[in-house]
Amino acid sequence: MDRKSGFTLIELLVVIAIIAILMGILMPTLHRAREVGKRANCMSNLKNLTLIWLMYADDHDGRLPSGGTTGAVSWIDHENNEEIKTREGQIMGIQRGVLWPYAKDLGLYRCPTATTNEAHTYIMPDSYAYQSHELGLCNTHGADPSMLIKKIDAIKRPAERMTYMDEGYASPMTWSIFYIESRWWDVIPIRHGIGTTVALADGHVEYWKWSDSRTIDFGRKANASGDIDQIWAASYWREVQPDNTDITRFVKAIWGRVGWKQ
């Protein structure tokens, strides 16, 4: 009798095993490639936000948008903290902000890795919260209020001073960090790997990878919950971390110098 050609069960299992091995090798590479693409998109958003931030200053005699998320000259203007908890509320805040006329593109305000409920993931640091201070809503965490930046010419070494960062979720105010002690205040973003993207006042952007294991541990614990109220509550884990190079880097980028002895 003629025998029909075909695969035996063993041959099929071998082929399946080979495919599974190849997939196991390729999937992490593909994931990293996708992540690199998202990071590049995120950095492009931050760069464009900083450029329109500079355009606003140029049109207003050097005055910068306030970094807070409440007030008539804030880059984003939310009416209350409840509004910021919904995507619709975040969008309204963006559209009331002073930068909206310069860039009416909602995609510019959020990282491509954001969830569907997040309309904006970018945040400005406390050093630009001058209107929040005027409204009695700002805690400078040890920095003197005279260090708040209101005009573009007050920024010394702009290539070293932060304008925006990818926080990962919508914060109700500016992003805060202690000035007089080496410890975190707000939750640490774990974005695009183990770090976050930041924009600097001269218009360039960078990816800052966390280098201290204490930073990574804090960030992972604080971001372990998907509940935004629990994430905010986690910001109260504020242990002093001497010689944490990540803290030092951020404090210098935000305030220009650290407020403790090194």
H or E element at residue 32: helix 9-59
What are 43-67's pLDDT values in tens digits? 999 999 999 999 999 999 999 999 9
What are 158-171's pLDDT values in tens digits? 999 999 999 987 77
Residues 6 or more apart from 191 whose CB is under 8 A from it?
42, 111, 113, 166, 168, 197
> Is 3 or 189 the better-scoring residue by pLDDT?
189
| Beta bridge mates, 122 | 166
Neighbours of 228 (CB within 10 A): 16
Q: Is the pLDDT of residue 32 over 70?
A: no
| Beta bridge mates, 184 | 177
Residues 68/131, Cβ–Cβ less than 8 Å? yes
H or E element at residue 30: helix 9-59
Strands (E), the chain: 122-123, 162-166, 195-200, 205-209
What are 168-223's pLDDT values in tens digits? 877 778 999 999 999 998 888 888 888 999 999 999 999 999 999 999 988 888 77
Q: Rounded CA gap, 150 and 131, in Å?
A: 9
For the whole model, what pTM was predicted?
0.83
Across 3-24, b (16+ Cβ under 10 Å) vs e yields eeeeeeeeeeeeeeeeeeeeee
